[in-house]
Each structure stands twice: as structure tokens, then as C-alpha cells.
């Protein structure tokens, strides 16, 4: 499940990434916390990727047990290094991103 998410993070493809968003999710970007809808989150990610153009995204660590799994990744974007934590909840039908945390390394 983290392979397509990683691909979209590296490409800065907020449209495809938002398809993985839960209806309501928490975004914590550079210390700013937002509990938002899928559409609000999409706009926040669009703004982030516009300001920090992604060059590379790598998953460093994956863990957790169903229904909640998480991954820690390293994002190189806009000449800076960021740590990204993705919390994904799985159901029998699909998986959704419940929380994204992005902080500077």
C-alpha cells in the first residue's frame, strides 16, 4: 500500500495522493496542525508541493498491525530534507491515510 503513496509523494502528485485520504484526516505540516476534510487536505498538500518541489521520497521504516499501519519516509523537496510520517488505516475494502506529519530533518 505504501508503494503508490511513495510514488505520489515523490512526484508531488497531490491529486492522486488525495485519493488515499480518509474523509477527515489530520495534517501536521512544519508544526501547523489541521484537522481537515479530504478537499482541504488536498489544497494544503498542493500548497506544500508548490512551495517545496519534491525531488526524492524514500520509505525508511514501516510498522504497525492491521487496521493501523505507519511508515516513516524521507522527502527531499525544495532543497530541504523533510521527515514524513504516514498513518494508514486499512479496512476489508481499502486503505486510507488518516494522518500525515511533515517536519524538517
Question: pLDDT digit string (tens) for 10-55?
Answer: 999 999 999 999 999 999 999 999 999 999 999 999 999 999 999 9
pLDDT at 93: 87
Strand 21-29 and strand 32-37: the pairing is: antiparallel
How many Cβ atoms from other residues are within 10 Å of residue 33's Cβ? 10
Q: Is the pTM of this model over 0.75?
A: yes
Does residue 95 carry a pLDDT above 90? yes
Q: In sequence order, which ranges of the chain are alpha helices (DSSP H)?
A: 2-11, 14-18, 38-51
Does residue 66 carry a pLDDT above 90? no
Residues pairing with 71 in the sheet: 62, 86
Does residue 57 carry a pLDDT above 90? yes
Does residue 4 carry a pLDDT above 90? yes
Amino acid at each position: 500500500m505504501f508503494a503508490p503513496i511513495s510514488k505520489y509523494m515523490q512526484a508531488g502528485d497531490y491529486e492522486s495522493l488525495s485519493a488515499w485520504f480518509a474523509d477527515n484526516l489530520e495534517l501536521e505540516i512544519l508544526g501547523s496542525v489541521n484537522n481537515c476534510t479530504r478537499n482541504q487536505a488536498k489544497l494544503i498538500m498542493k500548497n506544500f508541493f508548490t512551495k517545496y518541489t519534491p525531488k526524492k521520497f524514500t520509505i525508511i521504516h514501516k510498522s504497525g498491525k492491521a487496521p493501523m499501519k505507519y511508515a516513516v519516509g524521507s522527502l527531499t523537496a525544495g532543497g530541504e530534507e523533510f521527515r514524513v510520517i504516514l498513518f494508514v488505516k486499512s479496512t476489508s475494502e481499502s486503505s486510507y491515510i488518516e494522518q500525515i506529519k511533515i517536519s524538517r530533518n
